[in-house]
Amino acid sequence: MDMWRLKNKNLKQAKDNNRFFLIMAIAVGLALSLACSAGKLIVQAPAPTPTRFKTPRPTYTFTPEWTATFTPTSTPTPTETPTPTQTPTTTPTPTETPEEEAPPPPVQQPPPPPAEPTATPTPAEPTATPTPEFPFTVTFFAHDTGSPGETRMTGWIRVDYGPGKYKTLSGFQIKAIAPGGNTYLSEMSGPGFGDSTVKGTGDNHNMNTKLEFQPYTPGPYTIYLVEGGRQVSPEIQLTLNAEPRQYVHFDFAKTEAQ
């Protein structure tokens, strides 16, 4: 009896379990079916149908042409110009002017005293013509015919009495200050004269003294005439060329009345 009850109880419990599993399977299948249907509906949603729009056509509005309208101009009414009224002018009455009194006669001034006689200016005494500082004048001639081994200078010292009248003077010397500062004196001048070179060569002059020293020294020189160590002519500044070599002649002259 107990065994039969136990068997029925197990059988009933097994039926209940099978019923539970069946209900769960049906519920799960129904849920899956609904999910698939919803996804299909979402995926197969109909695409929107494009709407056709008509292109609006332009509307033409009729504009009437403008017609000129004549407007009459009003004619101005002439205005009368008033006539100016003449105003009578009064004539001024002349007024009598009293006679002015005659001015008194001018007082005569006494005449000025006579001017004192001015002293006659005394003419200034004529000034004497200054005597030249040196009695001799000097003229020089440079020729490109100098000697290769020496510096050469010649001179003619004379007094001039007139055209073509002269006298050669003795006792004078030419003093030369060379470029290096050395001082040279020529021979003492004599009473006669000779040729400085050769006649007809173009560089010949009358001479009565000469200065020669070695070697040929180009450069600036200071030249003047002395008598007993005293300077009697102005200084001459000249420069001897290095090439071509030169020789120089001097004329020292003073003028006297014969």
Q: What would the pLDDT profile of 192-248 be if each residue is shown by its tens digit?
A: 999 999 999 899 999 999 999 999 999 999 999 999 999 999 999 999 999 999 999
3-class secondary structure, 7: helix
pLDDT tens for 37-82 read 666 655 454 555 555 555 556 555 555 565 555 555 555 555 555 5
The reported pLDDT for the residue numbered 205 is 96
Of 19-23, 89-93, 189-193, 213-217, the range with the lowest mean pLDDT is 89-93
Strands 230-231 vs 219-227: parallel, antiparallel or unpaired: antiparallel
Q: Which residues pair with 195 in a beta bridge?
A: 206
Write down all domains in the chain, each with its CATH number in brackets: 137-255 (2.60.40.10)
Residue 8 has phi, psi (to 5 degrees) of -65, -35
Length of the chain: 258
Q: Is the per-residue pLDDT at 172 higher than 90?
A: yes
